[in-house]
Structure 1
């Protein structure tokens, strides 16, 4: 593997959600430790699953992986980091200042901005702590999905520059109180990230056009902030040997090969490795040790054909979503499970039934227009773009609060609005506008990957608490965005997952987080199911067989309502294919030609889903 040659101390694995960053980071850390290296594996993903992959509890402290001598792991827990950060700031003044003042400081420190800064604080310490680095030959970072990671890697420069210019009156003054002390640490982090002798970035992708386009954008954005030492790993490629006699495998293989042939020009010069699709889930040491090798699937490894014919389909769920003809439908889940595609499919199904629909996304890495690849009556599409919303918010504030300020006052306000925390407020305002619109039409929202979405909900909750505090004493009636999210008559949350151990566990954890926020998920959707697609190749049959236990767990333990969407032979792009996606039968209803033979799967009629 090229990306393993002449390794520097810091390795960053990044890419779109669901491409296998965690598995590759874990497999790399194990391989280095097996070679006698001292390795620290760090997850910066708010929805980290490193502990689940190893089958141990890790958390926010450096934890030895007993089964792998030389390997330790750490999951940066944003909430735990934020609490420790708040304690450091509030602790010295508690009992000294009046209680009302202390509560005001705590409220300032309750939002997602503080959570981001606190997690980032721990991240930069790992890059600059000489004593810690002396203990390890390599520190391997398993990062959050692309949009969140770019934000994290940009922050050292953003905060360092913000502090150098002496911006002390920012809207997030509370969080900034702790940042001034970290100026040299942030400058050191910038130096480490931009030094090719110390840092290597591994861009992880799948052999899919949309994913490779996302990697192209990531490459350019990270190069622009000085991270030029980049490698490309394309993960999970179906071997051609698996295509014999299996129409589905042929279609998947051809789709992947076409995507590889169209690799964006800027990526072709990067050192590139291909990792084959494994016939097993990448959980546990044995599986991870095989990931960077090329295991063969023999005839003895195959299982009987696996079929799942009686699961409800997505159209059945849409039947139950119609209700009063309007409302907010939010699709949530881990990155890479197909939220964007399924959000588009739900929106297209509703619009095709004559309902007005607004399809939108809060995912910085989502591209709904590319998924739809066309237009449909009754359907409008938008995106909550952080940069656009931040600029809109800045202009709004300057036009209102800055209207009557003198030149010096306006200059101070403009500097205040350059704080990286301004983005939090701007995105929350856009999110609130979308929620209000759901009172008169269907709004289908494709959310960002789990951790980023929970930060957005955290901001929504903080706003709700502040409004309730201010309005409660007056006795006035009020409705906040959080109250609308908690009302099942107004909001339906669909949790999207894959029929694999780790995604189902993460979806269950997300459901628990939502319930703590007073939001009850309405349904689960198992996407890209091989068991429903009835594959023929030995490798795909083995993977299909492992799905059955996970689908049963969703249906019997986790979900009030559920549906299964089969793996598609054709990429589900365009209105017509999205419409077919919602119903079982052939994934596309089209014949697949293979080796001059024609295959046409027989459609199946889904079982009517019963309400639980």
Structure 2
């Protein structure tokens, strides 16, 4: 790996692609070569301690078996809570408990967490966090482009964030930040210096991960951070040529890599194989870059093959439950990117329509994957209607309305800052939820299946009556009753069925669990979990690597079913390019009878 010679190394990518594994392996390799390394994680689901096999805390700590490796874990939730406290404490004497509660919720979104985390680890870049005594500082999880843009905006920064109480800001006043604008300017300058800093974009050989990496690459380049490399993790090669699933998986991955975003094709790329073992501990981490050691461990793992055994209800059983004693209602698929929300929504909507129900399938998928899946069918069921809400259009309209009102008395820099702040994920969710509201209302008379739902934080923002949230309602020209009513409808577990979609892997499971807690804070209890792409649910696996991966899924699935969900359903890994017809041919009675 071309990591030598850089002071700061960032690993970034969507959840579950292997950022932590490759960051830790790099840190160990550099420490083995005599470099003094500090490894910092800002991953909310961080498992640095498990991967490195050493205690890791919020203080810089030396590895117990590798003297030149040091770690520190910045917990984003702890950082965000400390940040909220610094905002709220000065208001204790002048605000009511209800007002403080609303301010706290306003600061509970993704933007606040990102800013607070960046605030914490910025000191490790400027040298105030002792980075000057290390040869290299490695970051597991880089800041988003949105966060960096917010922090680099110049004039009126303090004035706008600190003195504009009616501003639609989800990051709070700048007075709550530990760092100054000057420090952030120094941080951004260091990130742009190709002699000091490099970014590794981590992806798997699948469309969702590659798309995310392409977007990240473009965002970084736009910010002047073009020193990038692509690390493609989890490349699968079939070991048993008689295993049809293995051969199809290999072929699909090859096609996905050929069709990767063009911006990624210009980057130097390194490939890392899918391994049959968990990369935990120093020896396994060293095997990532040591192919001889890797082969030795793989051979030993294949001698310990065990059969995967569990049985969960399938997609047909889920649809049976959803339509039981009802011909209407709201069904929402939620989850992190790349877990299969869209295919689950498309499958459920099509199956319900084939059963004679009137169904609306609506999505905010910016890449219109829903249409890609539906186009795989020879015909769309007559009772199925498909709509697409364009997040960019909805968000632009909303931002234009707020900017016109809020920007009246701001100078050009203030207007620029206001618009940048309104580019947050929270803003998009609020704008999109407005468009969703009409569809939610119609679920009294038909089934409405929604691909991608608002988070619990967004719903709480819409339900509260604080000044910021009144502005949202006013600028969207929607009465409070029309916003609150859909929110209350989502709290009705009989009417609204929230489906959390996850993969049978540790990181996606933890991310879905965090999303579930977010919803529960808003009084919304998910109806069920759908675990997608389960190798452990595939019959007749012969390939030893796939069999090993399947057995590793079992404890994760068992944990979900036992501790996280009252209802758990699974979909097997289906190695087909036309995925929707393949799923329907398994589970849709109307399709099965027609075959």
TM-score above 0.5, yes or no = yes
Partner residue in 2 for 1:428: 430
Partner residue in 2 for 1:487: 492
- SS of residue in 1 equivalent to 2:144: helix
Q: 1:163 aligns with which of 150, 157, 167?
A: 157
> What is the deviation of 1:317?
0.7
Q: Is the 8 A contact 1:496 1:526 kept in 2?
A: yes
C-alpha separation in 2, matches of 1:527 and 1:101:
41
Q: CA 1:410–1:8 in structure 2 vs 1: closer, same or farther (change >3 Å)?
A: closer
C-alpha separation in 2, matches of 1:333 and 1:191:
35
- SS of residue in 2 equivalent to 1:316: helix
- SS of residue in 2 equivalent to 1:29: helix
**Mapping of 1:326-365 within 5 angstroms?**
326-353=328-355, 354-361=357-364
- SS of residue in 2 equivalent to 1:18: coil
> What is the deviation of 1:135?
3.2
Q: Please give the per-residue CA displacement for 1:52-107, whole angstroms capped at 9, x wherever unaligned.
A: 54577756554554354343434443332233223334445644x46689849945
Q: Is the 8 A contact 1:334 1:503 kept in 2?
A: yes
Structure 1 unmatched runs, 5+: 590-602, 604-612
C-alpha separation in 1, matches of 2:10 and 2:53:
22
Greater mean deviation of Cα atoms: 477-486 or 517-526: 477-486
- SS of residue in 1 equivalent to 2:251: helix
C-alpha separation in 2, matches of 1:78 and 1:366:
32
> What is the deviation of 1:304?
6.1
Partner residue in 1 for 2:125: 127
C-alpha separation in 2, matches of 1:185 and 1:307:
52
Partner residue in 2 for 1:31: 29
2:495 maps to 1:496:
no
Q: CA 1:395–1:351 in structure 2 vs 1: closer, same or farther (change >3 Å)?
A: farther
Normalising by structure 1, report the TM-score.
Answer: 0.78
C-alpha separation in 2, matches of 1:355 and 1:64:
61
C-alpha separation in 2, matches of 1:497 and 1:253:
22
**Mapping of 1:162-241 within 5 angstroms?**
163=157, 169=164, 170-172=167-169, 174-178=172-176, 182-240=180-238
2:256 maps to 1:256:
no
Greater mean deviation of Cα atoms: 269-278 or 476-485: 476-485
2:157 maps to 1:151:
no
Greater mean deviation of Cα atoms: 191-200 or 100-109: 100-109
2:324 maps to 1:325:
no
Q: 2:526 aligns with which of 518, 521, 525?
A: 521
> What is the deviation of 1:230?
0.8
> What is the deviation of 1:196?
0.9
Q: 2:566 aligns with which of 551, 554, 560?
A: 560
> What is the deviation of 1:536?
0.7
**Mapping of 1:88-103 within 5 angstroms?**
88-92=86-90, 94-95=92-93, 97=94, 103=100
Q: Is the 8 A contact 1:105 1:174 kept in 2?
A: no
> What is the deviation of 1:264?
4.5
Normalising by structure 2, report the TM-score.
Answer: 0.80
Q: CA 1:519–1:36 in structure 2 vs 1: closer, same or farther (change >3 Å)?
A: farther
Q: Is the 8 A contact 2:80 2:116 kept in 1?
A: yes
Q: Is the 8 A contact 1:361 1:383 kept in 2?
A: yes
C-alpha separation in 2, matches of 1:266 and 1:478:
40
> What is the deviation of 1:539?
1.4
C-alpha separation in 2, matches of 1:550 and 1:108:
32
- SS of residue in 1 equivalent to 2:17: coil
> What is the deviation of 1:274?
0.7
C-alpha separation in 1, matches of 2:132 and 2:543:
48
Structure 2 unmatched runs, 5+: 471-480
- SS of residue in 1 equivalent to 2:122: helix
C-alpha separation in 1, matches of 2:318 and 2:467:
34
> What is the deviation of 1:42?
2.7
Q: Is the 8 A contact 1:243 1:249 kept in 2?
A: yes
**Mapping of 1:328-477 within 5 angstroms?**
328-353=330-355, 354-361=357-364, 367-373=369-375, 376-377=380-381, 378-383=384-389, 385=391, 387-397=392-402, 401=405, 417-421=418-422, 423=424, 424-435=426-437, 437-441=439-443, 442-447=447-452, 456-466=455-465
Q: CA 1:75–1:299 in structure 2 vs 1: closer, same or farther (change >3 Å)?
A: closer
Q: Is the 8 A contact 1:554 1:562 kept in 2?
A: yes
